[in-house]
Amino acid sequence: MPDLSAFPITKRWPAQHPDRIQLYSLPTPNGVKVSIALEELGLPYEPHTIDIGKNESWTPEFLSLNPNGKIPAIIDPDGPGGKPLGLFESGAILLYLSDKTGKLVPANPAGRYETIQWVFFQMAFIGPMFGQLGFFHKFAGKDIPDKRPLERYRDEVQRLLGVLDTRLDGRQWVMGDDYTIADISMLGWVRNLIGFYGAREIVEFDKLKQVPAWLDRALSRPAVQRGLVIPKRPG
């Protein structure tokens, strides 16, 4: 049985199944990337709910795994060379899981790097910009009298949706016929934008030609439906 005692996070969130990948997360747009990927890949894993509403990601135990204090993070008891490996950053975890299994990314080098560039596009632009729009549209930022920040992020989100819409023209998925980690990286954010953030109208989502159908295809996948609610939110 693998020994995960070297990871302090396991003291606060003990592993009942230390032979499985340990997932420390919450069903946020970033968190669900990893739970969806794990479900799609069929890898055995044990989810642990990190209550960010109670600042659990800033506890010493969580910071020992991710010093940046953000979910998700994982420990793979069967990492490279058979040794346990801890990882944080959702994009890095997606790449690791795809490399570990040889799935959800094209086998040919050119296709692999093209997929990675779209994952980086999500990490660098879609996540941060969608999140800022959510802040200024739904949360405390909405009370700021100066609406220029909201308008700035709205315009940028519309631009990014346009980039994705153009990419999907004539394609079922970001990489064509193959569903990959590029799709997984983005679908939770687009879903959150028009759902939880309530920004469907202000970004004119329904005027897009490709993205709405792509999102519907992604959300209809059984593994996506399961991954969207893992780990269970605090009661």
Predicted confidence at residue 133, as pLDDT, reads 98
The segments of the chain whose pLDDT lies below 50 read none
Helix pair angle (181-194, 31-41), 10° resolution: 130
**Nearest Cα residue to 212 out of 233, 235, 194, 234:** 194
Question: Which domains does the chain possess?
Answer: 9-103 (3.40.30.10), 109-221 (1.20.1050.10)
pLDDT value for 1:
82
What's residue 198's pLDDT?
98
Per-residue model confidence (pLDDT) at position 68: 98
Q: How far is residue 197 CA from its own chain's centroid?
A: 16
Question: Measuring CA to CA, which residue among 196, 66, 71 is closest to residue 130?
Answer: 196
Measured between alpha carbons, how far is residue 74 from residues 25, 35, 47, 222 in Å? 9, 10, 9, 23
Buried b (16+ CB within 10 A) or exposed e, 95-111: bbbbebeebbbbeeeee
